[in-house]
Amino acid sequence: MSDPVPFDADGDSSVFKILLPKMVVVFVGFLIAGMAMPVLPLHVHNDLGFGTFVVGLISGSQFAASFVMRLWSGNYADRRGPKRAVSLGLGCAVIAGGLYMVSTFFMQQPGTSATILLMGRAVLGAGEGLILTGSVAWGLATAGPKNAGKVIAWVGTAMFGALAAGAPVGTALYSSMGFGAIATATIVLPLLTALIIAPLPPVAGRPAQPGSLRKVIGTVWLPGLGAAFSSVGYSAILTFSVLLFASRQWPNPWLAVTCFAAALVVARIFLGHLPDKLGGGLTALVFVLVEVAGLLLIWIAPEPIIGMIGAATVGIGYSLVFPGFGVAVVAAAPADNRGMAMGLYSACLDLTIATSGPLLGLLGSAAGLSAIFLVSALFVVCAAPIATIILRRAARS
């Protein structure tokens, strides 16, 4: 059964109506991650007594699992249909919540608790990979490739909106009822999301084409490298901004994540059309430089307001870097393999965060938390020449 909506829809309003159910699914699914994001570093550091390396390792395990699942989940969405991919991801999230809950029973054995928590994060990462890749594939199938920038930006907006909303909610739950409340929410919310997705009609899958993986890799590797460099800043914000604000004794350290995510959402709402209008290369180039400026502001921030402005600037910059490079992927990918292409492209983000979390944690232990943001800015600026290459290729073609 096919989704009864127009393919290659015209106009922002019609595209928004097509994408709205997928955005709701992504929002509810990623509210789980939003609640845990500011809480997890504090739980691992304060409750379990581990340092920044273990914080980065446990946080990064989610993205390592997402990386492993991305290519498979994209191919699964292409072949079996994106709705099935999303449903499977929700099931993984419920299991992750169960592991979170089990970890709370071993608080007096920090090593055991951290190991179970790491497993839960890994399962959640696999689930989130399926949810996001399936939702983007669903959106591309129903809104059409000429709206690829809007699909990537607006589905991503739902994800980051959930992160922004989840930060204060998660902090309140953790402060009042401990990490067990986060575990309970991680079980309940995916079950509620399954009720939302149940009445939505599926999109039929497509048979695999010979040599498709090789073609997809050829279209993804360059923009994927640009996305990987730019995602180092994203990793720094998600994993270490709360600890940085707390170490400087600034009030409400969760505001770092919320400012980042809220600014990203606002930028995508008002500027999400730019990758489709200006092209992915130019959009990525401009917003990479904005992201770098935000990371440098956090590095030098003498007071909370400057730190929050820096986090918001990183959010504005990163908001269109990922869709910018993503438009280049969709434009070059075979029509039957767009789910696989977006899965592999998103895997570049996951690989970056999985590896940069522990490595940035080691850097923070050796040189201080603020150094993480300076080094992250140096990595992010490496995406600028890649965006320039993509821009020149587009101009020639």
pLDDT in tens, the chain (397 residues): 344 444 445 556 777 888 888 888 888 878 887 788 778 888 887 888 887 778 777 777 776 777 777 767 777 888 888 888 889 999 999 999 999 999 889 988 888 888 898 898 888 888 888 888 888 888 888 887 778 878 888 887 887 778 778 878 888 888 888 888 999 999 999 898 888 888 877 777 666 555 567 778 888 889 999 999 999 999 899 889 988 999 998 988 878 988 998 898 889 888 888 888 888 899 999 999 999 999 999 999 999 999 999 999 999 999 999 889 988 888 777 767 777 788 788 778 777 877 888 889 899 989 999 999 999 999 999 999 999 999 998 888 7
The answer to the question of residue 7 being in a domain is no
**Helix or strand holding residue 173 (H, E):** helix 148-177
Q: Where are the beta strands (DSSP E) in the chain?
A: none
- 131 three-class SS: helix
The answer to the question of residue 381 being in a domain is yes
| pLDDT reported for residue 358 | 83
The answer to the question of residue 101 being in a domain is yes
The answer to the question of residue 96 being in a domain is yes
- Domain count for the chain, please give it: 1
| pLDDT reported for residue 224 | 92
Q: How far apart are CA 185 and CA 190, in angstroms?
A: 9
| pLDDT reported for residue 1 | 38
Residue listed under structure tokens 């890649």:
386
Burial class, 210, CB count within 10 angstroms (exposed 0-12 / middle 13-18 / buried 19+): exposed
Tokens at 390, concatenated = 């993509």
The answer to the question of residue 187 being in a domain is yes
The residues, any chain, with a CB within 8 Å of residue 118's CB and separated by 6 or more, are 57, 58, 61
CATH code, domain with 370? 1.20.1250.20
The answer to the question of residue 161 being in a domain is yes
| pLDDT reported for residue 205 | 67
| pLDDT reported for residue 188 | 92
Degrees to nearest 5, angle at CA 316 with 233 and 396: 85
Q: How far apart are CA 222 and CA 278, in angstroms?
A: 19
- Which phi and psi angles does 395 have, rounded to 5°? -65, -40
Tokens at 71, concatenated = 């290519």
- 209 three-class SS: coil
The answer to the question of residue 268 being in a domain is yes
| Residue 334 Cα distances to 39, 145, 154, 337, 396, angstroms | 41, 11, 22, 5, 20
Burial class, 79, CB count within 10 angstroms (exposed 0-12 / middle 13-18 / buried 19+): middle
- What count of other Cβ atoms lies within 10 Å of the Cβ of residue 381? 18
- Which phi and psi angles does 17 have, rounded to 5°? -65, -40
| pLDDT reported for residue 9 | 52
Using an 8 Å Cβ cutoff, are 276 and 149 in contact?
yes
The answer to the question of residue 356 being in a domain is yes
The whole domain housing 325 covers 12-396
| pLDDT reported for residue 5 | 44
The closest of 206, 174, 158 to 335, measured between CA atoms, is: 206
| pLDDT reported for residue 253 | 87
